[in-house]
Amino acid sequence: MFNILTLNKIAQCGLAQLGGNYTITDDVSVNADGIILRSFKMHDMELPAELKAIARAGAGTNNIPIDKCSEKGIVVFNTPGANANAVKEIVIAGMLLASRDIVGGIEWSNTLTGDDVDKQVEKGKSNFAGCEIKGKTLGIIGLGAIGILVANAAIALGMDVIGYDPYLSVDSALQLSRHVHKANKPEEVYAAADYITLHVPLMDATRNTINSEAISYMKDGVVILNFARGGLVNNDDIKKALADGKVKKYVVDFTDSETVNQQGIINIPHLGASTEESEDNCAVMAAQEIADYLENGNILNSVNFPNCSLPENNVGRITIMHKNIPNVIAKFTDALSSVNISDMINKSKGDIAYTIINTDHEITSDIVEKLNSIEEVIRVRVIK
């Protein structure tokens, strides 16, 4: 029986993926085996002693203490691609809002009074005229699950697209329209684009990606869209660029005290993935990931441990989290010398590695004790 703690409201279709071996609660005092959450900030939270896994129903994991989890052998999952279509659609909407001054026109329309509103509309509508996006160039920084969908949609709408992603995978490249131009450096994107959209995670290396230097490479009147993370854009630099006329509009899905009520900034209250379909997709994916790990020891879509899975069809199965150093596997096989190892897989991610071992014999407490005594071992779990 596993205890699952939910720290946000999780769609029922996701929780339904967890069978009778699970107790689901929102009581933070429970010594949970797993946590499923959305935006709850965990950094000041005391982690349960039995906690083995955290599943974020979404892509970003900035609200989870990743380093602390890694040290304790807690796998952190996210759900890449589950909300990609929702974000793609709102990015396209963001371009249209910035191009046509739809928001300004609606606000103005709601101020009109009298019996001749139709005449006032015809007289004043030219103040809100804009431009079409067809034929314009969209620059995309980050060609992951969302960036690819945005690129392909923009091509379908008649735009030219140029994208930059130094980590573009083979699978992602195969999904990308052949009409997308691939840049060798971000400056090529900045110089070519009429619209620039960001689709990269927030980390030290990407913080303030859009700053005064980056803006200096851009066309006059560029539109910048940020539906990824607020910290990717330097607020002071973007406001100066708006005041100078270098940037036409900044569309941001992360409204804060520095962006609200600012001329030229279209604030959207973090609606990127806020669709029923997206929330359902993320919940289902998060529940499936955490269940496969707790029940079988398999890891898929972890941000701190490597993807690692092995078919389960033997008497015994054990998983070992450990430091990624030479000769450690030999220590494991020595500790398991009393049983026959039928299958084994080892994967690494940076300084951390993960090993799954199937055996033809039962895993005894003596074996577990030997494995735990190995200096490089972080955590041992007997699956069966």
Active site residue 361: no
pLDDT at residue number 60: 83
Dihedral, CA of residue 140, residue 142, residue 146 and residue 148, to nearest 10: 70
What residues contact 358, with CB distance under 8 A and at least 6 apart? 310, 312, 313, 314, 316, 317, 341, 342, 343, 344
pLDDT, one tens digit per residue, over 226-241 is: 999 999 999 999 999 9
- Indicate the pLDDT class of residue 314, thresholds 50, 70 and 90: confident
Plot region of 374 (φ>0 → left; ψ -120 to 50 → alpha; else → beta): beta
- Indicate the pLDDT class of residue 160, thresholds 50, 70 and 90: very high
Q: What is the mean pLDDT of residues 360-374?
A: 96
Contact in structure between 79 and 289 (CB atoms under 8 Å): yes
- Indicate the pLDDT class of residue 313, thresholds 50, 70 and 90: confident
pLDDT, one tens digit per residue, over 206-261 is: 999 999 999 999 999 999 999 999 999 999 999 999 999 999 999 999 999 999 99
Q: What is the mean pLDDT of residues 74-91?
A: 96
Please state whether the predicted TM-score (pTM) of the whole model is above 0.85. Answer: no
pLDDT at residue number 86: 96
HSE at residue 79, side-chain half, CA atoms within 13 A, is 27
Cα–Cα distance measured from residue 125 to residue 59, given in angstroms and rounded to the nearest whole number: 40
Share of the chain above pLDDT 70, in %: 100
Token readout for 318 is 């054990």
pLDDT at residue number 255: 95
pLDDT over 90 (residue 93): yes
Candidate list 56, 229, 317, 322, residue with the active-site label: 229
Contact in structure between 263 and 242 (CB atoms under 8 Å): yes
pLDDT over 90 (residue 148): yes
Active site residue 229: yes
Candidate list 100, 270, 361, 381, residue with the active-site label: 270
Candidate list 50, 107, 258, 369, residue with the active-site label: 258
- Indicate the pLDDT class of residue 59, thresholds 50, 70 and 90: confident
What residues contact 279, with CB distance under 8 A and at least 6 apart? 11, 57, 273
- Indicate the pLDDT class of residue 48, thresholds 50, 70 and 90: very high
pLDDT over 90 (residue 37): yes
Cα–Cα distance measured from residue 310 to residue 356, given in angstroms and rounded to the nearest whole number: 7
